[in-house]
Amino acid sequence: MSHFEILSLEGLRNDGRRWDEMRNFQCRIGIEPSENGSAFIELGNTKVLCIVDGPSEPVIKSKARADRTFVNVEINIASFSTIDVKKRFKSDRRIQLQCLALQNTFEEIIQTELYPRSQISVYLHVLQDDGAVMASCINATTLALIDAGIPVKDFVCCSTAGIVESDMLLDLNSLEESALSWLTVAVLGNIKKVVYMQLETSMHLDYLESVMNMAIAGSEHIYNTMQSAVRQSAKPALASLS
């Protein structure tokens, strides 16, 4: 795919955005009242639902840890989530690696020492995939954990960025991901510390830092929206106390 199919002479992308514009980001918390925690993320056409259960007794006793909780992550990708057949049938190995990355990331963020010999289960359902799925899974997990009342050290906020020749792009859609070098970056909301980064395909070292900084800037925008959603969801509870 040529440069001009990704970014036109007028500086517009195939979905009408400029290089530094994100897609519309919306999030809802507590959409499944019967669950401990839940959150729904929409980033453009990408849609992810997260359900959190626990802390509870570990399903597999051997995974119980005497000094902290164990975080179990499962990702389910709906068969109708994308029209791209290759993407639809991505390997089980890739999904397992994504689950492991989420587990490692959130075990560092959750105050796991408060729940020894227990398990927190995170169930992610990818309902529609139009790019930035891993980022959306991370953002949805953060909100669902907060909704479940599980103490976390900070928000984990995530975004993507890529490069076409020497032009950087923020928040890639599915078409752009299939054609470009890009990365996913997650940071702690308050201090902007990078806690997760995944590079998809190769990228010239000269551009890596700039692309990473663009993804971090996108994560800041995500953080502000997520903060507002959490405040909004807390209003009814605060009102009942007054």
Least confident of 76-80, 93-97, 114-118, 208-212: 76-80
Q: Domain spans of the chain?
A: 3-241
pLDDT digits (tens, 9 = 90+) for 172-213: 999 999 999 999 999 998 888 999 999 988 898 999 999 999
**Separation in Å, CA 190 to CA 111, 154, 187, 225, 226:** 17, 7, 9, 13, 12
Give mean pLDDT, residues 153-182: 94
Least confident of 99-103, 162-166, 220-224: 162-166
Which pLDDT score, from 0 to 100, does residue 134 have?
A: 97
Please tell me the distance from the alpha carbon of residue 9 to that of residue 12, in angstroms, as a whole number: 7
Which pLDDT score, from 0 to 100, does residue 88 have?
A: 47
Number of other CB atoms surrounding residue 108 within 10 Å? 14
Q: Is a pLDDT exceeding 80 seen at residue 91?
A: no
Report the chain's mean pLDDT, rounded to a whole number. Answer: 89
Number of other CB atoms surrounding residue 179 within 10 Å? 18
Question: Which CATH architecture is the domain 3-241 placed in?
Answer: 2-Layer Sandwich (3.30)
